[in-house]
Amino acid sequence: QYLEEKFAEYADNTAMIYPEQNVSYTFKEMSDKVNSIAKGLIKIGVKKETHVSLLAPTCPEWILFFLATTKLGGIPVCLNDKNTIPEIKSLVEHSDSTVLVTSKETLGSVYDTSLFDNLDKVIFLEETVSIDNRITDAITLEELGKEVSDETLDAYVAKTSPEDCLMFLYTSGTTGNPKAVMLGQSRILNNVLTFIDNFGYNENDTILSALPLFHVMGCLYTGMLIFMVGGTLILTKKFSTRKALEIIQEHKCTSFHGVPTMYQFMLNYVENYDVTSLRKGMLAGAYCAPEVVEDIQNRLHIENIFSCYGQSEGVGFTQIRMDDSNEKKRTTVGKAVDGVELKIVNDNGETLPTGEVGEILANMPGCMLGYYKNQEATDATIVDGWIHTGDLGFLDAEGYLTIKGRKKELIIRGGENISPSEIEDVIRTYAMVHDVAVVGVPDKVLGEEIAAFIQMKPGANYIKEEVVEYISQCLPKFKTPKFVYMIEEFPMTSTGKILKRKLVEMVTEPNAQSHLA
C-alpha cells in the first residue's frame, strides 16, 4: 500500500530504465503493468501465501512480477539465476513453490523438464509455444488477466496485511544446506525508510544499480528504496565497466550501487568519461580497502560513499551517514541504524569492551521472521532476540563498527556469498578423492578467491588436470575454485578437524607451500 501511494504521487516521473532494450516506465505505466500481471496471476491461481519462484536475469520484468506477486499477498522466492539446474530444482522444491517465473536465457535451450514436476505453472518471460498446459508466457498471462475485474483484484489486495511475509531470500550457510530467510513487510518498510533518511535520497536521484535483484541490497535497498522517493532506477543485466560509465554519463546518474570490485574496475577507465553528476554511492557485499574508498571519493566524485553492514536475516544493522567524517566512511561500516542495538561478545557470550574483537550480535525490529521449515536453525541464529551473525568485529568509543573477518567460513567472492561445504560436497563425488577442504584466500580485485585443497585416496592414479576439469563441469563458474592444490596430509586439530586457517597460510605464505602440488 505504501508503494502504491508513492506510485500515484509520482505518476509522471520516470521510475525505471533498462538501456539494454531501450525500455523505460513512468510510475503510472509501471503501476498499470503490475496490475495487469497481478490479474493474470489471479487467473492461474496465485493468491495470498502462494509461493512464486523468481528465476531470471536482472530486468524490468523481474521487478514487475515481484511487485505483482506481493500485491496479491503471494510470496516471491528470489533465486540466483547463476545456479545450476539441480540447485534450482532443489530450491524450488524446498520452498514449496507452485509457480515459477523464469526465462529461456536462464534455463538454456536444453534443460531437465523434471524441474517442473512439482509446479502448477511455469511462466516464461519470452513468448513461448508449448504443448504442456503448465507452461505459458508473460504476454499470454496478461491476456488472461483481462478477464479479471478491478473489483476482484481489490478483493485480493484487501486480504493482505503489513504483518505478512514479504519474500524468501536464500542465504548460503556454512553447512551448505539451503536456508530460506522469511522477511516481513512492515519490518522491511521501516528499515528501508531509515536508509532513505540516512542516505538523503529523493525524487531527483537516479541510481544505476549493478546489484542482482535476488540479493536484498539489489531488490530492497536499491529498487524499492528509490521507488519510495519517486526517483529513477536504471538496471543492468550484467555489469560492464565501460557500459556502466557510459550510462552514468548519458543519464546523469546521481548514484551508483555496486560491490567494491565494480568500483575498482570503473576507476581504471573513469578519466575517459564525465561522471561529475555522481553524488552518492553504495558499497555492498564485501570489504573495501580505505585507499580504494578514498580513490572512489576523489576520482569518481562520490563524496558520499556509503558502506553498510547486514545480513539477509537482519538486513541493515549499520550505516554510514552523510555527515560522517571521511575517516569513518573509509574505515568503518557506520553506526547502528535507529532501533538496532549491537554488541560484541566472546565465545562464552560475554559482552566485550570497546575496541575488542568478538562476534557481532544485533537486536533489531527488522530481523527475519525465521528460516522457512528450519526452526532449529532459526533458534540457533536468533537467541533471546539477538541475531548471532557469525561475523567478527569491534565497536569504537563512538559506536562505529569495524568488520574483522568471519567466525563462519562463508566465502565472499566479488560480493557473492559462497558456502565452502557446497563445493566440498561436489568435489568429493570424484571417485579418487579422499578428502577436500575449500577456503577463501585474499584477492585484490574480488576480495576473496576460492581455493580447494584435495587429498587423493592412497595409491590413486590421477591426472590433476582431469580433476580440475571435473570440478569445473560440476559447478557454476562463480563457485568454481580458481586454485586447486593437491595435498598429502591436512593440518589437523587435536579433535581431528582440518585447520583451514593453516591452509590459507600455505597459499599466502610462500615458505609454507612445501606440501602442495
Is residue 142 one of the residues assigned to a domain? yes
Is residue 271 one of the residues assigned to a domain? no
pLDDT of residue 438: 94
Instruction: Provide the CATH number for the domain around residue 131.
Output: 3.40.50.980
Domain boundary among 102, 132, 160: 160
pLDDT of residue 172: 59
Within the chain, which residues score under 70 in pLDDT? Answer: 109-112, 131, 172-177, 405, 493-497, 510-517
Question: Containing H/E element for 207?
Answer: strand 206-209
Is residue 490 one of the residues assigned to a domain? yes
Domain boundary among 130, 160, 190: 160
pLDDT of residue 107: 87
Domain boundary among 116, 135, 160: 160
d(CA 17, CA 29): 12
Least Cα distance to 254 among 228, 226, 224, 217 occurs for: 226
Inter-axis angle of helices 260-267 and 241-251, nearest 10: 80
pLDDT digits (tens, 9 = 90+) for 140-156: 999 999 999 999 999 99
pLDDT digits (tens, 9 = 90+) for 27-72: 999 999 999 999 999 999 999 999 999 999 999 999 999 999 999 9
309 - beta bridge partners?
318
pLDDT of residue 86: 86
pLDDT of residue 515: 52
pLDDT of residue 516: 60
Is residue 39 one of the residues assigned to a domain? yes
360: cell is: 557481532
Q: Which residue has the cell 554488541?
A: 343
Is residue 188 one of the residues assigned to a domain? no
Using CB atoms within 10 Å of the CB of residue 147, give its burial: 0 to 12 exposed, 13 to 18 middle, 19+ buried: exposed
Is residue 117 one of the residues assigned to a domain? yes
8 A C-beta contact, residue 46 and residue 69: yes
CA angle 399, 255, 411 (to 5 degrees): 60
8 A C-beta contact, residue 401 and residue 395: yes
Is residue 306 one of the residues assigned to a domain? no
Cβ neighbours of residue 399 closer than 8 Å, sequence gap 6 or more = 335, 336, 342
Residue 418 has φ and ψ, to the nearest 5°, of -130, 130
Looking at the 3D structure of the chain, how many domains does it have?
2
Is residue 485 one of the residues assigned to a domain? yes
d(CA 16, CA 24): 6
d(CA 44, CA 79): 21
pLDDT of residue 110: 56
Domain that holds residue 126: 1-12+25-160
pLDDT of residue 174: 36
Percent helix, strand and coil across the chain, each rounded to 5? 35, 25, 35
